[in-house]
Structure 1
Amino acid sequence: MYSPTFDNNSDSLRKSLSVVSVRYFPQSNVNIEHSDLRYDALMAGDTSGFEDKNESYILIRERDGDCMAINIICLHIESLRITIQTERALLSEENVRVFLSEVKILLLTEVINYQNTMFTKISDNTWHLASGLSHEVVTQHVIDGALKTIAYSDAAIFRIYDDKSDRLVPVAMTGFKNNYYDYIVGLHESISGKVFKSMQTAVLNSREEINRSFTASSSLRDEILKDNPLATSLICVPVYDQSACYGTLTMLSFSRQFVFNSLAKSLLETYSSQVALAWRNARLYDERTESLRVVEDLRNQLQAQNTLLNASVDFYNLMVSLSIKYNRLGDFIAAIASHLSLDLNYLDVLGNQSLSESLSALTWSHLRASASEKKVSTIIVGDKNYCLLPLENEGRLLAFFIMRNQDLNEHVSSIISRLKEFVIMEIVKQAGSVALENKKNLDLIAEIMMNGLTAESEISFARRGIVLHKSVLCIKLTTPQATSDEIHYLSIINVLTRDFALKNVFHYFDADMITLIIFDMNEQKLFALEEKVIARYQQDKVYKVGMSSVLRRQEVITSIKQANTALDVLKTRNKNGVMSFRHSGIDRLFIKHTPEELKDFILDLFSPVLEENNKPGILLVTIICFLKNRQSAVNTAEEMGIHVNTLYQRIKKFETLTSLSLNNADEFIMIALTCHMSRFYLS
C-alpha cells in the first residue's frame, strides 16, 4: 500500500488548526486526523456540496447534531479531517463561517509556503544543473532535480530527440527497470512525441487518459510495460529554449493519492527551461571540448609524426652509410641487423642472402613455393617458428625477411617497413645494370663468333673476371618466358650457379635463351658437370637445355654451336628436358626441318601401318622391336611373346604394305631412320 509522507509543515498546520478550533469552540472535544479522501476522486464527482474548492484544496462541511466534521482535502499537503463535538449554540452559522475563514487563511498560507519551498528547490536544482558541464553530468542531474521539483512523483523519464532516427530516446530515468531504456518512441506514437512536436505541456490524471494517449499499438511497449508499473497520473513537458526543442521530461505517479495540477505544471515547466539551458550549454561545452580534443590529438599526431620522421631520417642515414660500406645486399642486411641487435635473416631472388646457421639450408625456390603454393606466412625450422615477410614490387616477389615470431613488434615492423623500400630499390638497381652488362657480353660473343678467340677478347674476358682455362663447356637453356626481364634472368643464373657450384662462368641472355660458358683447368670437372646437368633436367617439364661436348678453349666457337645444335634437336622434337651434343646422334640431320615436315615424311612411308590416330600399329611395333634386337628373329619373338613364324609373317606383311624391303640396303636405312623418327614426331 502506498503511504504518502509529508514534511514538518503538516504538524505545524495541525497545531494551528487546533488552536483556531479551541478558540472558536472552547471546552469542546476537537479531534484532527489524517483523511484518506482523494482530491482527484472528489473533483471527478459532484462538487455542488463542497464548502470551497480550488486547485490546492477542497473543504467539505458535515453536521450531525452537536457534532461537526470539516474535511480538508489537499493536493500537495496532508489531507485532514477535523471533528468537533460541542454545544449546539457554538455551531451557529456565523461562528462556523468565521471559523472556516480562518481555516482557509491557514490553508492558503500553507500552500504559499509549499510553493515558495518548491520554487526555492528549483533555484537549487538550477545551480545543480549548472554545475554539470558535459551532457553526461547534466543527464545525471536532470532526474535528481525533477524529483526534487515534484516531490510526490514516483518516476521520471528524460528523453532526447535523435534527428537521425526521428525518435525520442530515453537517456535518464528512475522508477522503472533498465529495459525501459529500450522504449524509444516515434513522434506519432505517444504523448511524449505529441509534446515534443507541439511544445505544449500535457497533463493526464487517470490511467484511462494515459492509455488513450497511445495512438498506435507497439509490441515493444507491451513487453516493457509488462515488467513496469502503469502510472495513474502523468505530466510531460517539452525541454526547449529559443533555439531548439531538445526532448521531453515526464513525471509519473503510481499512487491515486496525487494528481498533477497547475502548480506542478508551472514548477516543471520552469525546471525544464533550466534543463534546456543546461543541455544547450553542455552541448556547447562538449563541442568545445571535442574541438580541443581534436586539436590535442592533432598536436600529438604531429609530435608522433615528427618523432617518426626523425627516426626515419636517422635510419635512412644509417642505411645509406652501411650500403656504401657493404656492396653486397646480404652483407648490408647482416650489418643492419647487427647494428639494431635484430635476429633478421634475408634471402632474395638474385641470390643475395644473410642467413643464420640454423637457416642456412633455405633456398629461394623453397621459400617461394612455401609462400605461393601453400599460402603460408610462417615456416618451422627445427623446433622454432619463423615468420616470412615478403618483399614485392609491382606484384613480383623479390625477397624475404625471416624473423622469429616473438621478435616481431610494432617497432620492429616499422623498421622492416622502411628497410623493405630501400632493399627493393637496391634489387631493382642491381637488375637495371644487367641490361647494359648483357649488351656488352652479347657484343663480345658476336666479335668472337666473327674473329675467333683473340688476345683482345681474352682481355675482355679477364676484365669480367673470367679466366680462359684450357677446357670449355657451353650450356644453353630456354625458359617459358622471355628473359629480357633482368630480374628473372638473374634469378635463373643464381639458381644454376648455386645448384651446380659454378665458377669462372660467362653468361648472357637473348630473348628466351640463356647461355653459360664455363672454363676450367680440369676437363673431368666439366664432364662431371655435364652429367649433373643431364641428371637434373632429364625429366624436366619446363626447360629445354642443350649442352656442347667438353672441348679445348680454342674451340669456344664450336662449343657454342654444339650447344645450339643440341638445343635445336629438342626444339625440333618439341620436347622439354636436356640434350647433350654427343648424345644428339642422327637427330642433328633433322634440325633444319620443322616437326610438321618430319611428321609428313613419316606418314608418307608408314601410313599403311599406322592406326587411325597415327599411333604405330602392331606391324610397325614389330619392326621397331626387330631392329632394336639387331634383326634377331629369336630374340624379337621372345620379347614380344609370339612365334617366330608369326614374326616373319608380320615382317612380310609390313614390306608388302609399305613397298619397302629390309633386304635392300638403301630401304633398310630408310626404314630404320623413319622408325627412329616416329618415336619423337608422331602424336
Structure 2
Amino acid sequence: MYRNMGNSRIIQGKYEIWISQSFKYWALLESRGGLKPDTSEFANPFEISHAYWEKKAGYMLVYLPYGIHTVIAVRIQTELLELTEDDLFHLSTGLYPYYSEASLKQQEVKLNKMMESIREVTQSVNLDELLSKILKNALSVIPYETIGVLWMYDPALGRLKVRAKAGEIGKEMLKMAIKPDEGMIGKTFRRGTPKLYRDFDEILIDFGDMTAENVEHLTHAYDFMQSKSIVTVPILVHNKPECVLIVYQTGKKPLLTEQDMQLLQGFADQVSIAITNARLIEDLRRQNLELRRRDEIHASLVKLSLQNKGAASIASELSKMIGLPLIYVDLLENKWHPERKRGASGLSGEELLRLYAREQGPSYRQAEESGNSPGKKLFCYPIVASSACLGYLLVELTGGLDSLQQIAIEQGASVLALELLRKQSLSEFYYKKTQDTFLELIHAKNPDVWREKADLLGIDTALPLMVAVSELSSPAPSAELNLHVYRFVVDLREALGQQILVPVIFASGNKVTIVLQSRKNEAVVLKRFRSFLGSWEQYSNLRIRTGAGSFFRDLHAAGSSHGEADKALSYLAARGSYAFMLYSDIGLNRLFIRHPKEELEAFVREIFEPLQQAKSQGSGLADTLLTYMASDRSASLAADKLHIHINTLYLRLRKIEDLLGLSFDDPENVLRIQLACYLKQSSRE
C-alpha cells in the first residue's frame, strides 16, 4: 500500500505498520521481511500527542498521530540514527492512505450500526426491546468503555424514569425518579439541547443538585466517580423533550468528543422515530379495538331494539356495559328509568330541556346532596334527533370516562333516539286514526253512528264536552316542532289528570285537537286548561294560540263545538295574537272572523285617516268620534267625557261630517262609523 516504499530513504528492508484507534490496542496493518510481531515495547497510545521516533535495539519506532484518537506506528529495521522533521512529515504523508482506509472502515461500522437501528425501527413493534437495541447499537460505535442509560418522562409522575440501559450498571438505578431541572438529566430535559462534559468540576456542578435519595440509588448502581467524560442528549418528539440519553465514559482520561455527541444525536433521532411509531401503532390498535367494541355494542343494543325489549331494557343493558349507574330520561313522555332515581339527580325534565338549550351537547353537572353525602358528579348526555332533545342519559361518575365508555354511551344514545322516534311514529299513526274517527263523528247524521264513534274514542255520552284547537308556533325546523307537539299532547294528558277527561286528543301538523269532559264545573275545567297552556308555553319557549268552543251536552253538537273552536282560532290568527280565546268571548267580531286582517284595516283607515290628518289643528277629531260613538251618540255625555263645552263638540262633529263626506242623520252612515269605531277599539285592546 505504501506506493513510494522503494524510493523511501527511511523504510528499507524489514518493516511493520501498526495502528491504534481510540487508544484501545495496536493492530498490525502491513509487514515485510518476517519481523516477529511484538508490541511489548510500544508506547501507550494515550501518551502520544505529536510525531516522534525512538531507537531500539536493532530497529526504530516511529509514532505518527492522525485525526481524533488515531496513531500509526512504524517499526523499521534500519541503521539510521535519527530522523528530521522533514523525514517525519514525508513519512506521515506517505502513510496517510493507511489512516484513511482505517477511518473509512470505522465509519462503515458506524453506518452499518446506524442502518441496523433504522431497520429495527421499521420492523419491531416492541418499544422497550427496540429502545434497548438502539441504545446498544449507539454504544457499540463509540470505541471507548461506556455505559448508556435512556430516561423517559412519565407525565403521571412528573419525573424521568429509566426506560432502557446498556453496560455494567446496577438495578438500583431503576428506583431513581429525576425531576426536570434536576441533575444533568433533568437539566438536559429542560434545556432541550445536548451537552458534552469533559471536566469533572463541570460534571459536579450539574450533578450537585440531585436529591439525596437519587444520589444514593445512583451510588449503589454505578461508581459515578469513575466517569471521565459524559454526553447527554435530549430526545424530542414533535419538538418536545420526552427522553434523555446519557452516556458515561470510563478510563484514564476524557475521550468523548463533539463528534461522538453528534453521533449519539443521530441515534437519539431514531429513538424519537421509534417512540412516534410505537404511539402510532398503539393509537391504531386502540382505534381498531374501539371500532370492534363499538360494533359489538351497537349490535347488542340494536338486537334489543329489534326484539322490542323497550327503551328501559336498552338503558339497563347500557348501564351494565359501562359499569356505572345510569339514569335514562324520556323527555317525550317525562318518564325516568329507574323511576326511583327521578329526584336523585336534582334535575327535572324542564331543567334538562333548558340544559340542552344552553349546552347543545354533553355536559357535566353536580347532583344534589343526599343526606350528609355530597352529590355525585353526573355526565349528562342528550338524546337528540333532528336537532331536538328527546331525552337524556345521566351517568353517575366516581372518576372520568374512558374512551370505550364514551363510545358505549354514544351508541346507546343513538339507539334510544331511534326508539323514541319509533314511538313518535306510532303516535302519529294513532293520531291519524283518531282524527279520522273524530271527523266521522262530527259529520255523522245518524245517532247510531254517533254512539259507535263515541265508544271508539272513549267519549262519555253522559257528560258535556268541549272541543279546543291549539296551534303551536316555533322558529325551529318542522321536525323539531313535531317533537314539541308530541310532548305537548303527552304533558296535557298528564297535567289534567283523572278529574278532567281527555278522551280525544290528536295532532295534525302543528295543530292539536282536544276534547275535554268533566263532572266538575265548566269554569274549573277552563281554569285548569288555561293554567296548563300558560305554564307549558313558558318552559317550552313556544308560542301557543288556542281557540275553544262551547260546552254541549248533546253528542251530535260536537261538530258545533269544533266549528266554534276553529273560528276562535282563526280570529286569533287574523289578529296575529297568541292567546286563549273562547268563541263566546269573540262577540261582534264573529262577523269578521273570515275577513282578512288587511281588509279590515283598510276599512278602518277609510274613516280615521282623514281625521288623523286634521289632528295638527289640535281638534282631536279621532278621539272625539270614538268617544261620541261609545257614548251612544249622546252629545252631553260625550262632552263631559272629553271635558269640553257642548258647542265645541258640535263644531267637531260638523267638521268630521265635512271631512268624511257623510251625515250622522243617515242610519247607514252611522252603522258604518260604528263598525269602524268598534274595529278600531278592538285592535287597541
Q: Shorter-chain-normalised TM-score: which range? A: 0.5 to 0.7
> Is the alpha carbon distance of 1:334 and 1:295 closer, same or farther for their aligned partners in structure 2, counting shifts above 3 Å?
closer
Residue 676 of structure 1 aligns with an amino acid whose one-letter code is Y
Aligned to 1:422: 415
Aligned to 2:531: 532
C-alpha distance in 1 between matches for 2:535 and 2:47: 112
Query: Aligned match of 1:346 in 314, 329, 339?
Result: 329
Query: Aligned match of 2:604 in 583, 602, 607?
Result: 602
Q: TM-score, normalised by structure 2?
A: 0.54
> Is the alpha carbon distance of 1:14 and 1:536 closer, same or farther for their aligned partners in structure 2, counting shifts above 3 Å?
closer
> Is the alpha carbon distance of 1:592 and 1:336 closer, same or farther for their aligned partners in structure 2, counting shifts above 3 Å?
same
- How far apart are residue 617 of structure 1 and its match? 9.0
Query: Aligned match of 1:557 in 556, 559, 583?
Result: 559
Q: Is 1:489 the counterpart of 2:490 in the alignment?
A: no
- Does the CA-based 8 Å contact 2:294-2:407 persist in structure 1? no
After superposition, give the CA deviation of every residue in 1:523-572 in whole Å (9 maximum; x if it has no partner): 43434345536866999983332111222242211110110121122233
Residue 678 of structure 2 aligns with an amino acid whose one-letter code is H
Q: Is 1:673 the counterpart of 2:675 in the alignment?
A: yes
> Is the alpha carbon distance of 1:633 and 1:496 closer, same or farther for their aligned partners in structure 2, counting shifts above 3 Å?
farther
- How far apart are residue 14 of structure 1 and its match? 13
Residue 390 of structure 1 aligns with an amino acid whose one-letter code is P
Aligned to 1:401: 393
Superposed, 1:273-422 pairs within 5 Å as: 323-324=308-309, 329=311, 333=315, 342-354=325-337, 356-358=341-343, 364=349, 366-373=351-358, 377-378=363-364, 382=368, 386-404=378-396, 406=398, 409-410=401-402, 412-422=405-415
- Does the CA-based 8 Å contact 1:350-1:487 persist in structure 2? no
Q: Is 1:650 the counterpart of 2:652 in the alignment?
A: yes
Superposed, 1:145-184 pairs within 5 Å as: 145-148=141-144
Query: Aligned match of 2:503 in 502, 505, 510?
Result: 505
Unpaired stretches in structure 1, ≥5 consecutive residues: 19-33, 40-55, 61-69, 81-95, 152-176, 184-257, 259-267
Q: Is 1:471 the counterpart of 2:464 in the alignment?
A: yes
C-alpha distance in 1 between matches for 2:39 and 2:316: 98
Residue 397 of structure 1 aligns with an amino acid whose one-letter code is C
Residue 342 of structure 1 aligns with an amino acid whose one-letter code is P
- Does the CA-based 8 Å contact 2:298-2:412 persist in structure 1? no
What secondary structure is seen at the aligned counterpart in 1 of 2:543?
A: coil
- Does the CA-based 8 Å contact 1:478-1:514 persist in structure 2? yes
Q: Is 1:583 the counterpart of 2:585 in the alignment?
A: yes
> Is the alpha carbon distance of 1:672 and 1:442 closer, same or farther for their aligned partners in structure 2, counting shifts above 3 Å?
same
- Does the CA-based 8 Å contact 1:572-1:594 persist in structure 2? yes
Residue 357 of structure 2 aligns with an amino acid whose one-letter code is S
Aligned to 1:75: 65
C-alpha distance in 1 between matches for 2:285 and 2:365: 42
Aligned to 1:23: none
- How far apart are residue 441 of structure 1 and its match? 2.4
Aligned to 1:520: 518
- Does the CA-based 8 Å contact 1:470-1:520 persist in structure 2? yes
> Is the alpha carbon distance of 1:513 and 1:308 closer, same or farther for their aligned partners in structure 2, counting shifts above 3 Å?
closer
C-alpha distance in 2 between matches for 1:483 and 1:301: 37
C-alpha distance in 1 between matches for 2:192 and 2:395: 55
C-alpha distance in 1 between matches for 2:636 and 2:568: 36
C-alpha distance in 1 between matches for 2:640 and 2:467: 44
Residue 390 of structure 2 aligns with an amino acid whose one-letter code is L
- How far apart are residue 451 of structure 1 and its match? 1.5
Residue 521 of structure 1 aligns with an amino acid whose one-letter code is R
Single out whichever of 291-300 and 393-402 deviates more from structure 2.
291-300
Aligned to 2:438: 445
What secondary structure is seen at the aligned counterpart in 1 of 2:595?
A: coil
> Is the alpha carbon distance of 1:528 and 1:359 closer, same or farther for their aligned partners in structure 2, counting shifts above 3 Å?
farther
Superposed, 1:234-253 pairs within 5 Å as: none
Aligned to 1:25: none
C-alpha distance in 2 between matches for 1:526 and 1:74: 117
- How far apart are residue 581 of structure 1 and its match? 0.6
Aligned to 1:222: none
> Is the alpha carbon distance of 1:604 and 1:531 closer, same or farther for their aligned partners in structure 2, counting shifts above 3 Å?
same
C-alpha distance in 2 between matches for 1:630 and 1:128: 115
- Does the CA-based 8 Å contact 2:331-2:390 persist in structure 1? yes
Residue 383 of structure 2 aligns with an amino acid whose one-letter code is L
C-alpha distance in 1 between matches for 2:280 and 2:366: 46
- How far apart are residue 677 of structure 1 and its match? 0.9
Higher-Rg member (1/2): 1
- Does the CA-based 8 Å contact 1:390-1:401 persist in structure 2? yes
Q: Percent same amino acid among aligned pairs? A: 15
- Does the CA-based 8 Å contact 2:607-2:660 persist in structure 1? yes
C-alpha distance in 1 between matches for 2:380 and 2:680: 50
Query: Aligned match of 1:434 in 409, 427, 434?
Result: 427
Aligned to 2:544: 543
> Is the alpha carbon distance of 1:559 and 1:333 closer, same or farther for their aligned partners in structure 2, counting shifts above 3 Å?
farther
> Is the alpha carbon distance of 1:486 and 1:465 closer, same or farther for their aligned partners in structure 2, counting shifts above 3 Å?
farther
Residue 436 of structure 1 aligns with an amino acid whose one-letter code is F
> Is the alpha carbon distance of 1:342 and 1:608 closer, same or farther for their aligned partners in structure 2, counting shifts above 3 Å?
same
After superposition, give the CA deviation of every residue in 1:630-655 in whole Å (9 maximum; x if it has no partner): 66767766665656654454344334
What secondary structure is seen at the aligned counterpart in 1 of 2:343?
A: helix
- How far apart are residue 580 of structure 1 and its match? 0.9
- Does the CA-based 8 Å contact 1:349-1:399 persist in structure 2? yes
- Does the CA-based 8 Å contact 2:113-2:137 persist in structure 1? no
C-alpha distance in 1 between matches for 2:299 and 2:63: 86
> Is the alpha carbon distance of 1:642 and 1:140 closer, same or farther for their aligned partners in structure 2, counting shifts above 3 Å?
farther
After superposition, give the CA deviation of every residue in 1:389-437 in whole Å (9 maximum; x if it has no partner): 1222344433222344547623543432232222112122122223432
C-alpha distance in 2 between matches for 1:182 and 1:35: 29
> Is the alpha carbon distance of 1:674 and 1:309 closer, same or farther for their aligned partners in structure 2, counting shifts above 3 Å?
closer
What secondary structure is seen at the aligned counterpart in 2 of 1:397?
A: strand
C-alpha distance in 2 between matches for 1:617 and 1:434: 62
- Does the CA-based 8 Å contact 2:458-2:503 persist in structure 1? no
Alignment RMSD (CA, Å): 6.0
Residue 517 of structure 1 aligns with an amino acid whose one-letter code is V
Residue 329 of structure 2 aligns with an amino acid whose one-letter code is Y
After superposition, give the CA deviation of every residue in 1:92-117 in whole Å (9 maximum; x if it has no partner): xxxx956559xx9xxx9xx99xx99x
C-alpha distance in 2 between matches for 1:572 and 1:6: 105
What secondary structure is seen at the aligned counterpart in 1 of 2:473?
A: coil
- Does the CA-based 8 Å contact 2:324-2:395 persist in structure 1? no
> Is the alpha carbon distance of 1:335 and 1:497 closer, same or farther for their aligned partners in structure 2, counting shifts above 3 Å?
farther
Residue 399 of structure 1 aligns with an amino acid whose one-letter code is G
- Does the CA-based 8 Å contact 1:468-1:520 persist in structure 2? no
Q: TM-score, normalised by structure 1?
A: 0.54
- How far apart are residue 620 of structure 1 and its match? 1.7
What secondary structure is seen at the aligned counterpart in 2 of 1:420?
A: helix
After superposition, give the CA deviation of every residue in 1:374-400 in whole Å (9 maximum; x if it has no partner): 657355665656443122234443322
Matched residue count:
483
- Does the CA-based 8 Å contact 1:452-1:557 persist in structure 2? no
- Does the CA-based 8 Å contact 2:466-2:561 persist in structure 1? yes
C-alpha distance in 2 between matches for 1:450 and 1:440: 16
